[in-house]
Structure 1
Amino acid sequence: MSEKLLNTTSFALSPLGDSAVVVTFGNEIQYDIHKKIKIFMELLEHEPFVGFVECVPAYTNLTVFYDPLVVFNEQKHKEAGISPYEVVCSNIKKKLQQIETNKKMTHRTVSIPVCYGDEYGPDLEHVARYNDLTTDEVIRIHSSGEYLVYMIGFAPGFPFLGGLSEKIATPRRSSPRTTIPAGAVGIAGMQTGVYPISTPGGWQLIGQTPQTLFLPNENPPSLLQAGDIVKFYPISYEEYKEMKEERR
């Protein structure tokens, strides 16, 4: 199969401060856009340009961080009068021309146990009523889906997951909670996610997982990464307690 290269007019570059460039691939949450972001991120990490620091993916863009001093010192021996930003943009454009859009992606699958409802899912009944379903139907639909991790953000290790069924999509709470426990599983619109640490939030809470998502002593410190596939599966109250105790 011949290589299908990225159309270099299908992206936009913009500065973020004096040490980062935002590469935007579109304006909608789509798998094809995520794929381009993921492939380009892997290319930069395996074949970095001089001065490259790291890159951070989001729904529709990739932020590329660089060291302007390193870029400047490298460039001054070649051509004066060009800013580090211009140099990095030039390097990014060259790299973008190498993207193979028909490259097959592989996804790591992570299974996450969830104890749904009652004290661990105080908004489960609301989600069911909002969608004219029973709580058992909400649990079945939520736990039968496959969710793509589009990005990690908001809080350390917080996964923004795409793929939620429209049948259980529910707006955020009108009044956010001041404290949500780590491990809470929630729904907000067409998204679902897991709170990795205790934090305020307005998502509809339908369950709780004993799984730890934020691992500050690990590298990387997040259990989930952009590009992972998440599958939830129901567990009982007793199983939750047992798993929670094992992780202490």
Structure 2
Amino acid sequence: MSAPEIFFVGDDALAVKLAERAARHALAAALRASGQWVDVVPGKGEVTVQFDPLVVPPRQAEALLRQQAVDIPETEDVSVQTITLHMQADDTAGPDLARIAAENGLTAEAFLARISASPLIVDMMGFTAGFAYVSGLDPALIAPRLDTPRQRVPAGSVGMISGQLGLYALAGPAGWPIIGRIAEPLFDARREAPFTLEAGVSIQLVIER
């Protein structure tokens, strides 16, 4: 591939701009596998890496990243972890479900079927600890942000705005309409990696009514 744009985002971090989601996650997987970076974080439109400037001088890190970005593996050769999650979708778990489905001209069942059939993937983590931005949602499904954000939604809540889902690993405020709740815990402090989701993970969503 042609050389992508690379720029510094601090004294110990660099970012690579990549428009294609699959390419970002393929590069992130390759960078993690190289073991040459302190941290690798894919985001929306770029992949950011952290390095130790006391071990690797910044310009050397830039040159290394530039070479690795050019040698990005073909996306079809990159294995993607798939996690199956069960989403409860009753009136309690999804207080906005019926309204959002109706605004899309669908029954709740048809609306949920479109969501579960979408090729969902965690695009990035952010906003709050463990919050997963999930892309791949059927683009025909639309939902605006809430006029008045909720002060608190339960852990596992599934929010939606046009084009993406948002999975709340922890209880907290939410500005997205809530259409369901994940049955499995998305956070467990006893685990070595306490959060279930990370960028690049594919989600198979099973709807429970």
Q: TM-score, normalized by length of structure 1?
A: 0.77
Quote the residue 1:15 is aligned against.
Answer: 8
**SS in structure 2 of the partner of residue 118 of structure 1:** coil
Identify which of 225, 234, 238 aligns with 2:207: 234
Note if contact 1:157-1:221 (Cα within 8 Å) is conserved in structure 2.
no
- Higher-helix-fraction structure: 1
Match of 1:65 in 2: 50
Displacement after TM superposition at 1:108 (Å)? 2.1
Give a deviation string over 1:113-159, Cα, whole Å, max 9, x none.
12213121110122022112222222222233331111222222222
* Letter of the structure 1 residue corresponding to residue 45 of structure 2: T
After superposition, the Cα gap between the structure-2 partners of 1:102 and 1:170, relative to the gap in structure 1 and judged at 3 Å, is closer
The correspondence of residues 78-93 of structure 1 with structure 2, limited to 5 A, is 84-93=57-66
> Could you tell me which residue of structure 1 aligns to residue 196 of structure 2?
223
Alignment partners' CA distance in 2, 1:229 and 1:89: 30
Q: Give the structure, 1 or 2, with the largest relative contact order (CA under 8 Å, sep 6 or more).
A: 2
Query: Which of the residues 131, 142, 156 maps onto 1:183?
Result: 156
Q: CA RMSD in A?
A: 1.8
Tell me the SS of whatever aligns to 1:96.
Answer: helix
Q: Name the counterpart of 2:128.
A: 155
Name the residue aligned to 2:32. 45
Percent sequence identity over aligned pairs: 28
- Partner in structure 1 of residue 80 of structure 2: 107
Contact 2:121–2:202 under 8 Å retained in 1: yes
Q: Is the 8 A contact 1:108 1:228 kept in 2?
A: yes
Comparing 203-212 and 219-228, the one that deviates more: 219-228
- Number of residue pairs matched by the alignment: 209
Larger Rg: 1
Tell me, which stretches of 5 or more residues in structure 1 are unaligned? 1-5, 27-32, 72-83, 237-248
Partner of 2:111: 138
Q: Which amino acid aligns with 2:113?
A: R
> Is the alpha carbon distance of 1:106 and 1:123 closer, same or farther for their aligned partners in structure 2, counting shifts above 3 Å?
same
